[in-house]
Amino acid sequence: MNYDLVVKNGTIVTAMTSYKADIGIIDGKISAIGRGLAGKEVLDATDRLVTPGAIDTHVHLEMPIGNFVSSDDFYEGTKAAAFGGTTSIIDFVESRKEQSFLDALEERKSKAAGKAVIDYGFHMTIGPDDIRKLDQVQAAYEAGCRSFKIYMAYGLRLTDGEILKAFEAIGETGALPVVHAENWDVITTLIEKNISEGNTGPEWHTRSRPSLMEAEAVGRVIDLAAYAGVPVHIFHISCPEAAERVRQARIQGHYVSGETCPQYLCLTDEVFEAEGIEGALPICSPPIRSIIDQLGLWEHLSGDSFHTISSDHCPFTKEEKASGLSAFNRVPGGVPSIEMRFPAIFSRGVREGFITENQWVDLCCTMPARLFGLENKGDIQVGKDADLVIFDPGKEVVLSEETLHETAGWTPYKNMTMTGWPETTISRGQIIIGNGECTAEKGRGKYLA
Ligand SMILES: [Zn+2]
């Protein structure tokens, strides 16, 4: 058999095991795994790891928030993702008040089509104005939204009763509810108090969002899901107290899963000590917490509290961030992590001994695909899409706005050294990143239904 492309002599790393073999690709699919495979094109992966393409199930590309739009569009954002070894993303749809879920999905799909260089799907957001659209949940599910986003914070937050109604509608389809869990009432009370006492600096962002109030909301929404009889996935857990709620619920047999993000695993609240705008740039929610919290999250990662690591990529430029410099609660929230996520979890997690290389692949590739119904993605098996990363475990990259391909013009990870970086990224059998160049044509990415 002569394959279109063969990845030779690499160490294949899956969620289950690691072994040396060649991978043969035909028509964009993994067609054989074995020894001595020959192909029209051959990539030598000697001394390299070969992983499934990473999947980032939580990104916000060209997302309008208030007066701003997050700074990477579907081209720049997916290109940066590909440089970091990510071959599929799931972004979000928010419908306007008078707009149907399906129209909103089409509008969002048309933004990504023609731009995305990797494959993309969408979570459908259910905000307070959408409670009367719950009869459209089935149609959105059939159109490819396998997950529905619910907020317990911000203007899009639902009351507990509305969450119950939404869960019941989602439950009928078999889709997965995903939740931003924070106790909004307590947070807004603390923000008001701190601002009125003149405590406006960025460190007060974290102090206004205590760990216990994140954990309270996580516990509450798990109870609501258990009552409604639906599974639930908790987004961006930032503290061990919240992770513990997931762990406990799973011991009790609830179908709960957890996500955390690189910003909580690689940064600490020391970032807020920088002068001026630099100290305000890393504001995101839930907030970046202490080193004790960070180490607690790493400890939970070796257990059963976390199932995905996503970026929650939602960057704004320095100028946009500076518009809110007068007080922490006016700074648009979000950081760029779409490119460094996969290598960072290897560098910080695997190399420093918190998790195994198989857990790394499970958290960043395999479980995301399984939880969100991406059947052809996330694993190296015959018949799956040939989404692969040839990963150089020894390559050192110093993160900065020059080495990364994101467009925000800053990174909270500046001057951090990562050991281990993707050398080649392959999407459906096509080399899209190689020799430090992006060779993907704009718009080659496909919608994942
Ligand atoms: Zn988010």
Q: How far is the CA of 316 from the centre of ligand 1 (A)?
A: 13
Cα angle 366, 87, 148 (rounded to 5 degrees) comes to 65
Beta strands in 182-231 (DSSP E): none
Per-residue pLDDT, 316: 95
310 in the same domain as 231:
yes
- Any domain includes 270: yes
Per-residue pLDDT, 215: 98
DSSP string, 164-180: HHHHHHHHHHT-EEEEE
Q: How far is the CA of 312 from the centre of ligand 1 (A)?
A: 5
- Any domain includes 376: no
Per-residue pLDDT band at 308 (split at 50, 70, 90): very high
Q: Is the separation of the CB atoms in 93 and 64 below 8 Å?
A: no
Per-residue pLDDT, 189: 98
Q: How far is the CA of 8 from the centre of ligand 1 (A)?
A: 38
Per-residue pLDDT, 364: 98
272 in the same domain as 344:
yes
127 in the same domain as 46:
no
Nearest in space to 372 (alpha carbons), one of 30, 123, 16: 123
Average pLDDT, the chain: 97
Per-residue pLDDT, 67: 84
Per-residue pLDDT band at 375 (split at 50, 70, 90): very high
Per-residue pLDDT, 406: 97
Per-residue pLDDT, 66: 81
- Any domain includes 175: yes
225 in the same domain as 134:
yes
185 in the same domain as 47:
no
Per-residue pLDDT, 216: 98
- Any domain includes 448: no
Per-residue pLDDT, 218: 98
Q: What is the CATH number of the domain that holds 22?
A: 2.30.40.10
Q: Is the separation of the CB atoms in 31 and 382 below 8 Å?
A: yes
d(CA 49, CA 376): 21
d(CA 239, CA 422): 29
386 in the same domain as 336:
no
Q: How far is the CA of 151 from the centre of ligand 1 (A)?
A: 10
Q: How far is the CA of 314 from the centre of ligand 1 (A)?
A: 7
Q: What mean pLDDT comes out for the span 354-381?
A: 98
Q: Is the separation of the CB atoms in 204 and 194 below 8 Å?
A: yes
**How many residues would you count in the chain?**
449
**pLDDT tens digit string along 35-90?**
999 999 999 999 999 999 999 999 999 998 888 999 999 999 999 999 999 999 99
Q: What mean pLDDT comes out for the span 205-221?
A: 98
**pLDDT tens digit string along 122-167?**
999 999 999 999 999 999 999 999 999 999 999 999 999 999 999 9
67 in the same domain as 35:
no
Token pair 């990415």 is found at: 445
Q: What mean pLDDT comes out for the span 101-126?
A: 98
Return the percentage of the chain with pLDDT > 70, whole number.
100
Q: How far is the CA of 381 from the centre of ligand 1 (A)?
A: 31
- Any domain includes 400: no
Q: How far is the CA of 185 from the centre of ligand 1 (A)?
A: 19
Q: How far is the CA of 44 from the centre of ligand 1 (A)?
A: 37
Q: Is the separation of the CB atoms in 52 and 388 below 8 Å?
A: yes
- Any domain includes 339: yes
127 in the same domain as 110:
yes
Q: Of 371, 404, 429, which residue sits at a domain end?
A: 371
Q: What mean pLDDT comes out for the span 213-232?
A: 98
Q: Kindly tell me if the per-residue pLDDT of 174 is higher than 90.
A: yes
Q: How far is the CA of 285 from the centre of ligand 1 (A)?
A: 8
Q: How far is the CA of 86 from the centre of ligand 1 (A)?
A: 17
Per-residue pLDDT, 365: 98
Q: How far is the CA of 114 from the centre of ligand 1 (A)?
A: 24
Per-residue pLDDT, 431: 98
108 in the same domain as 135:
yes
434 in the same domain as 313:
no
250 in the same domain as 321:
yes
283 in the same domain as 423:
no
Q: How far is the CA of 60 from the centre of ligand 1 (A)?
A: 7
Per-residue pLDDT, 252: 96
- Any domain includes 408: no
Q: How far is the CA of 180 from the centre of ligand 1 (A)?
A: 8
Q: How far is the CA of 1 from the centre of ligand 1 (A)?
A: 45
Q: How far is the CA of 59 from the centre of ligand 1 (A)?
A: 6
Count structural domains, the chain. 2
- Any domain includes 304: yes
**Rounded-to-10 torsion of CA 308, 311, 312, 317:** 180
Q: How far is the CA of 127 from the centre of ligand 1 (A)?
A: 14
Q: How far is the CA of 170 from the centre of ligand 1 (A)?
A: 20
Q: What is the CATH number of the domain that holds 122?
A: 3.20.20.140
Q: How far is the CA of 169 from the centre of ligand 1 (A)?
A: 22
Domain that holds residue 18: 2-51+381-394+418-438
Per-residue pLDDT band at 1 (split at 50, 70, 90): confident
Q: Of 371, 406, 428, which residue sits at a domain end?
A: 371
**pLDDT tens digit string along 262-289?**
999 999 999 999 999 999 999 999 999 9
Q: How far is the CA of 313 from the centre of ligand 1 (A)?
A: 7
